[in-house]
Structure 1
Amino acid sequence: MRIASYNVNGIRAAQRRGFEQWLATSNPDVVALQEVRAQQADIPDGVYGAYHVAYDEGGHKGRNGVAVLTRQPVAAVRTWSGHVRIDGQAAPVGEVTLARGMREFAHEGRYVEVDLADAPLTVASLYLPKGGLPAHLQKPGRMREAPDGGAKYERKMRFLDAFARQLSRARREALAGGREFLLMGDLNIGHTRYDLTNWRRSNQVEGFLPEERAWIDAQISPRTLVDVLRAKHPDTDGPYSWWSWMGQAFDKNVGWRIDYHLASPKLAKTATAAWVDREPSRDARISDHAPVIVDYDFPNL
């Protein structure tokens, strides 16, 4: 089973740059998308080919939006908002009990979860807030954005706190139902020194703050969730999945690994290959992210 995670940074822009060809060529069985950034009515016809699509577009037009693409109709769909579009049409979703603190983010189009019909597997797509710097690290004139007193940082930390509880619940419910669990998406956090090029200078940069990295530490373990790509590429720089559009970051491979497959241990053990599908040149890029793809030798297909 080939499964991909891809932050497309806007499906309409991605289509113009070759997303449909990538989908047909890479031929994944399941795809988790983040930052689709389009209301259903604005999504180009045919962009997803013959795949079935479960999509939470969120309540902020032109922002966020997460989807899971599958070859077969899914057995169940769950979102935090209680709203979803399946193959373009509004559809009922399974009941989700939100963890404490999660309601603040429920209508932002950041999470969708499906149970596959052709395998005992729950797949989730997540787009985690980018965040910002805490107030004491904000220095006017040295920031691209105006100082905000730490508001974006504090909001991200509230999300992380609430989502840790939500993630534990989702994982446990999947396993209790006889399904393995796979969380994919853009976590907007580089976990270790191997996950970004300039790590020595980044301890005071959003996305690599010690408390953000500690949060990932707390989510992964041999008994809970496994970082599949890192398990396949231990103690190796990268492979990176995001590069700035600016300058020569892509050409010089100055990047970050912020896109993940976090799998339940039994599922992780079936991974036979894991890689980042990096385009051959800057001009060929579809998004500022590249897809993270894993082949799982998963039973019952």
Structure 2
Amino acid sequence: MKIVTWNVNGLRAVVKKGFLDYFHEADADFFCLQEIKLQEGQIELDLEGYEMYWNYAEKKGYSGTAIFTKHTPLSVHYGVGEATSEKEGRIITLEYDNYYIITEYTPNSKRDLSRLEERLQWEEDVRHYLQMLDAKKPIIYCGDLNVAHTEIDLKNPKSNRGNSGFTDEERAKHTAFLEAGFTDTFRHIYPDAEGAYTWWSYMNKARDRNIGWRIDYIMMSDRLADRLQAVTIESEVLGSDHCPVTATFDL
């Protein structure tokens, strides 16, 4: 089973830049998107063999998530916990017989950290929600989590210490999530890999120089570790300031 996660930074824009070529080439069982930045009816996609699930933000041209899948779920949930919606379209859960698939787009704390407290509460709520699911059956959880966890997850850790996405508080929340029974698939296979990034600023040719951050993840319940077969950061795939991340499992 193959999963792709990608923050497309505007699905309509990336479709004009070769998204469908990559989509068909990837041939994934689950294709999870963040920052789709559109409303219902603003795009038409003919993806034969796939069901499409959308969580649109109320604000136009902002946030939003989607999952395209070959497999009909038992249930679909939008929101965290008992909530059945949330205004920024940040999370989708698909339930299957033996696992859950969740895609999520973590709020950015903003450059001035004005949204840090709200973001930390969101992460707390999401962790409790995922622990609740994990108590029933294992989860695969992916998306743009907007945090570089350790110093090897970004090019310039010293100068970025305390900046949005690399504050001590955000990193601690990520640690708490891992300690709650979950595994970062990439670090499971490549614990010491450096220079492996998933996001690059559009400024100063950062991508060409590989001055980036690893902030896009595929996570899993610890007990799925022996089912993980491969993880790849598809840094050569263009169209967004993020690149796709893929993982394959024997489920």
Q: Residue 216 of structure 2 contacts residue 245 of structure 2 at CA under 8 Å; is this kept in 1?
A: yes
Partner of 1:8: 8
Provide the residue aligned with 1:33 in structure 2: 33
> Which piece of structure 1 moves more, 284-293 or 21-30?
284-293
Partners of 1:165 and 1:127 lie apart in 2 by 14
Counterparts of 1:286 and 1:162, CA distance in 2: 29
1:227 touches 1:260 (CA, 8 Å); kept in 2?
yes
Unaligned residue ranges in structure 1 (runs of 5+): 82-95, 134-149
Distance in 2 of aligned mates of 1:184 and 1:160: 18
**What is the CA-CA distance between 1:154 and the residue it aligns to?**
4.4
2:131 — aligned with what?
171
- Post-superposition CA distance 1:81-105 (Å, at most 9, x none): 8xxxxxxxxxxxxxx414xxxx9x9
1:115 matched to 2:95? yes
Q: Which amino acid aligns with 1:170?
A: L
Partners of 1:124 and 1:183 within 8 A in 2:
yes
Q: Of 127, 146, 150, which residue of structure 2 is paired with 1:188?
A: 146
Q: Which residue identity does 2:191 align to in structure 1?
A: P
Q: Which runs of no fewer than 5 residues in structure 2 stay unpaired? A: none
Letter in 2 for 1:107: K
TM-score, L = length of structure 1: 0.78
Query: Are residues 1:227 and 2:184 paired?
Result: yes
2:176 is matched with which residue: 213, 218, 221? 218
Deviation at 1:165, TM superposition (A): 3.2
Asked if residue 97 in structure 1 is aligned to residue 82 in structure 2, the reply is: yes
- Residue 72 of structure 1 corresponds to 71
CA distance in 2, matches of 1:63, 1:49: 27
CA drift of 1:156 comes to: 3.2
SS of 1:68 mapped into structure 2 = strand
State which of 125, 128, 149 in structure 1 corresponds to 2:106: 128
Does residue 17 (structure 1) correspond to residue 17 (structure 2)? The answer is yes
Question: Which amino acid in structure 1 is aligned with residue 189 of structure 2?
Answer: K
- Give TM-score scaled by structure 2 length: 0.93
Q: Do the aligned partners of 2:123 and 2:173 also contact (CA within 8 Å) in 1?
A: no
Q: Contact conserved, 2:133 with 2:139, CA < 8 A, in 1? A: no
Conserved 8 A contact 1:52-1:72 = yes
SS of residue paired to 1:220: helix
Tell me the amino acid that sits aligned with residue 286 of structure 1: G
Q: Tell me: CA distance 1:210–1:109, structure 2 relative to 1, closer, same or farther (3 Å).
A: same
Alpha-carbon shift at residue 16 of structure 1 (Å)? 0.4
Question: How many residues matched?
Answer: 251
Provide runs of 4+ in structure 1 moved above 4 Å. none
- In structure 2, what residue type is equivalent to 1:220? L
Q: Percent identity?
A: 30
CA–CA distance in 2 between the matches of 1:158 and 1:220? 20
C-alpha RMSD over aligned residues: 2.0
Spell out, residue by residue over 1:209-244, the C-alpha distance to the aligned partner (whole angstroms, 9 max, x if none). Answer: 1111111111103x6111111111112214110111
Contact 2:108–2:119 (CA<8 Å) still a contact in 1? no
Q: Contact (CA 8 Å) 1:171, 1:181: kept in 2 or not?
A: no
SS in 1 for 2:62: coil
The 8 Å contact of residues 20 and 49 in structure 1, kept in 2 or not, is answered as: no
